[in-house]
Copies of this chain bind each other. A is one copy, B any other.
Amino acid sequence: MKILTILGSSRREGNTEYLVRKIVDGVQHTELFLGDYKLDPIIDERHREGGFNETHDDYESVLEQLLAHDIIVFATPVYWFGMSAQMKVFFDRWSQYLRDERFNMKAALQNKQAYVVTTGGSNPHITALPLIQQFGHIFDFVGMTYKDYMIGNAVKPGEVKEDILALQKAKQWNEHFKTLI
């Protein structure tokens, strides 16, 4: 089981990343920080004759990493009660590549397991639930297995270190991942 973490934060070393590091501590994995890649928003050309125009950014290298792993840990801060725009760009482009015959994306996704990690403030255990549900609809749609999610309570840098329940959950995932590899 090969593990990929996809981090959609807009800055490094934030609370979400902190949880991710705990989750994969001592576990072989690949880390993908979306901010390191040039990812253009989708131009919806599903209904254009000829389909999507070729794009010229780094999306395909990100996609190849997605497809090459079995367990995907999607990590994003809660920004405005949703995933970061960076991560949303990542998902929006799925509409393009699900139709791209060079990738067998649909079949590949159906064997993958998804985990979601998010952190935020403003009563996140309730207000982040639409985001948790959105991920549920996404994974249902493509047939991925939604294994688990965690919501950390943190706004200021480092604050998640005080969220004992989140840290416990990270440790439990970590122990589970160690048994898989």
> Using a CB–CB distance below 8 Å, which chain A residues touch chain B?
9-11, 14, 41-45, 47, 77, 79-86, 88-89, 91-92, 94-95, 122-123, 125-127, 129-134, 136-138, 141, 146, 148-149, 156-157, 164-165, 168-169, 172
Contact = CB atoms under 8 A, between A and B. Distances in A.
Given A9-B44, A125-B149, A141-B122, A85 B88 contact: yes
Contacts of A43: 10-11
B85 A42 contact: yes
Contact of A131 (B134, B136, B146): B134
Nearest to A173: B165
Nearest to A136: B126
A155 to B, nearest CB: 8
A111 to B, nearest CB: 18
Contacts of A82: 82-83, 88, 91, 134
A123 B138 contact: no
Given A11-B44, A79-B95, A94-B80, A126 B130 contact: no
B41 A10 contact: yes
Contacts of A95: 79-80
